[in-house]
A and B are shown apart, each in its own frame.
Chain A
């Protein structure tokens, strides 16, 4: 692994952690759990970045990241208690493809203009974005749910 790749990995993990903590505040997590949200976000983005750097698709890398985050939270359930699932979810929030979703909708808007420019390219781009949104959200949902169900994490 080159120094550039390591720096990129650290960058993604750092900002993934910050994003997860920021959204943890929005979701009203207490101060005790916010560092755990940040750690989960950093872990998720680190795993996803490793996958992407290794040539995996975004969806596959996101699925792996969600699985690892959910399993890690489950391992810590003795310390975290029933909130481990919520912490894993907060950690995966930075992987939600909100920007792709927005871009897909803007591309669809562009197609409905009176004289769309490069309509062929735009429709391919819009479909690509929307498929990425669907598959990435599916990857996050499945990645979080599978370990939680198999390990029978209690919700109460």
Chain B
């Protein structure tokens, strides 16, 4: 088929490329844990950097939609959003790219190539290192709310093992809520058994500390930020997700307490 030479069709195709590239950047920002305000600002900067005159964005928990306008031509496109996580370095790298595009001089192709490169090459900490750090964070949390010194190492180990298994399960695409319940059960059981073995007097607290890696702190604060910024739908969706994760995590702890016979 011959490519259309109709100037309206050509302009629409150009706008479609602008919209799709902008949506890809917005999706990465959303999946990296940015608030809706930041996602919208970043997308608007990129679209305007391409020369778009009008930008309208709608963000849901699982999708983003954008309407771009140039002259009399308007086009609307949508993209799905994957699992929401937190990835600070990739988030900042895409924000920096948005600043560069907004200053002009970057084509759609260059921007899309750079997005792919950033998603592929932005460094991540090794899973073993994350597990070690998260286990340490769990046991530090435990110390903050009264876990005794005897349970320090068991909670560290339980939290670390829990984080490592969580990473593997999420990598295999297991449902995030199922992962929360499973990891809570495993980590709480390991933390409880370890605390018992070393003669800790704070077994219940040690079990609770072992699952604190699951507490979705960033989504919980983002939920408020989104509502305060005027996006109550997204804020509510985040809050419900936080509640669901905690219900699954508490169920895992409840089962672990039943298994070990240590219900308070």
Contact = CB atoms under 8 A, between A and B. Distances in A.
Main DSSP-derived SS at the A contact region: helix
A98 B212 contact: yes
Question: Which has the most chain B C-beta neighbours within 10 Å: A16, A24, A26, A30?
Answer: A26
B130 A25 contact: yes
B38 A145 contact: no
A99 B41 contact: no
Interface residues of A, number: 44
A26 B140 CA distance: 15
B92 interface: yes
Interface residues on B, range: 35 or more
Contacts of A94: 140-141, 144
Contacts of B33: 27
Interface string A111-123: 0000000000000
Contacts of B138: 22
Nearest to B92: A83
Contacts of A92: 221
B225 A141 contact: yes
Task: Give the most central of A25, A86, A92, A93: most B CB within 10 Å.
Answer: A25
Given A15-B144, A28-B125, A86-B91, 5 more contacts: A22-B135, A27-B218, A102-B249, A141-B224, A155-B38
| Nearest 9 CB-CB pairings of A with B | A22-B137, A98-B215, A141-B224, A105-B250, A25-B133, A18-B140, A19-B140, A96-B217, A15-B140
